[in-house]
Copies of this chain bind each other. A is one copy, B any other.
Amino acid sequence: MTIEIQTTTEAAVRRFTPESLRAQIVAILDAWGMRSDSAATTANVMVDTDLSAIDSHGVSMLSMYEKFLVEGRLDLNAEPEVVVDGPAFAVVDGHHGLGHPTGIRSMELAIEKARKSGIGMVVVRNSLHFGALGFYARMASEQGLLSMVTTTTRTPVTSATGGTTPILGTNPIAFSAPRVNGEPLLVDMSTSVVALNKVKAYANKSKTLPEGWVFDRAGEAVTDPAQAYSLLTQLGATISPLGGPTPETGGHKGFGLSLMSQVLSAALSNAAGPLQAGDRDNIGHFFLVINPEAFNPGGQTAENVEHLANAMQQGEDGVKIPGDPEREARRERGENGIPIPDVLFTTISEIAGRASAPMVLAEIV
């Protein structure tokens, strides 16, 4: 029985070289007609995300991007434009291009400003899905800087405390800070108890949801994952905020954090607010970068963060520093290849087929 399950698992997930996955994504984006610099940037972010084992936000997103394209929501030739430019801040318009090139450009700009002015803040409008926030936060900290990144998300799934109408997305927040050894502390979290894609992952595995994650509009818990995911995509259910469905366990705090992410990401840039969906998405992002040398010269800030990380692990087994599991995954998958389940492989093949792009994924055997 055990052997049977293992065999099934082994057959269902094969591993591919990161280089071939990058080439595969570029081939598809290229066939769609995307600008070549944008295609290369997007593929880099997506492959890094799969290397980091954030499988929900990497190549598995291609089918949603194809949907955006078919529905005319995605401008493949968009170039992010800096529409307001100050010494320490900027506003960027993504012009409905895919979010990754816009995110990279905006984070680079925030880094540049932080180097010159001590801090740099860039807000973005008219963007689309840009993958996992942690990628952008890490860009800053790999250069010795601190950063905070927030974004709005497309599907409303959380309601205000005391309400039942889904009005905000999972509105994530990421934060990163360099340590002495150069490997940053990295927090990357939705402000809902789980991300929407986690509900989908439970549905894919037919795994019952824990009580307290999803509620229908009548306030009844939904634990069937397929039903929950279906309701959530039709505004027929909500995911609890971080802290749970009631104030007793802090649900009002999680919703407060979602509000913070919403205001930072959208109110300053005029990205879409709740229930303001137009013909095209208008996702907003927020990037804050802090140059610790301006505040605290001589690398002292990284030493303080190192001390903090060491205190977390002092005398404790099983404590992981946020960011460490993803780094470990990058090492392991960099060596052994990126696992792609057969069902996802088939999806990629179909997308490539429809785009008349070649299949170039190279399996590791």
Asked if residues A164 and B316 are in contact (CB atoms below 8 Å), the reply is yes
Q: Report B-chain residues with C-beta under 8 Å of the C-beta of A212.
A: 249
Verify if A262 is at the interface (C-beta below 8 Å from B).
yes
Q: Chain B residues with Cβ under 8 A from A320's Cβ?
A: 161-162
In angstroms, how far is the closest chain B Cβ from the Cβ of A322? 5
Q: Say yes or no: A316 contacts B162, CB within 8 Å.
A: yes
Q: Which of B193, B257, B296 contacts A268 (CB 8 A)?
A: B296
Number of copies: 2
Q: State A250–B311 Cα separation when bound (angstroms).
A: 21
Q: Say whether A256 faces chain B, with CB atoms less than 8 Å apart.
A: yes
What's the minimum C-beta distance from A155 to chain B, rounded to whole angstroms?
Answer: 15
Is A276 a contact of B307 with CB atoms below 8 Å? yes
Q: Is A319 an interface residue (CB 8 A)?
A: yes
A263 touches B119 (CB 8 A): no
Number of A interface residues, CB 8 Å? Answer: 80
Q: Is A165 located at the chain interface by the 8 A CB criterion?
A: yes
Q: Does A318 contact B (CB under 8 A)?
A: yes
Q: How many Å lie between the Cα of A27 and that of B301 in the bound state?
A: 41
Docked-complex contact A250 and B243, CB < 8 angstroms: yes
Cα A165 to Cα B313 in complex, Å, equals 9
Is A360 located at the chain interface by the 8 A CB criterion?
no
A167 interface residue per 8 A CB criterion? yes
A150 to chain B, nearest CB (A): 11
- Is the CB–CB distance between B242 and A250 below 8 Å? yes
How far does the alpha carbon of A319 sit from the alpha carbon of B160 in the complex, in Å?
7
A89: nearest chain-B partner, CB-CB? B118
Measured between beta carbons, the chain B residues less than 8 angstroms from A315 are 165
Q: Given the complex of chains A and B, what is the CA–CA distance between A267 and B305 in angstroms?
A: 6
Which residues, 64 to 83 on A, are CB-close (under 8 Å) to B? none
Answer yes or no: A201 CB below 8 A from chain B CBs: no
Given A87-B117, A256-B189, check contact A268 B244 (CB 8 Å).
no
Residue pair A294, B165 in contact (C-beta under 8 Å)? no
Is A1 at the interface (CB under 8 A from chain B)?
no
Tell yes or no: A84 within 8 A of B by CB.
yes
* A318 partner, pick from B84, B117, B162, B264, beta carbons under 8 A: B162
A22 at the interface (CB under 8 A from B): no
In the docked arrangement, what's the CA distance between A244 and B243, Å?
Answer: 7
Closest 8 pairs (CB-CB, A-B)? A187-B256, A163-B316, A267-B304, A274-B311, A160-B312, A162-B318, A175-B260, A189-B253
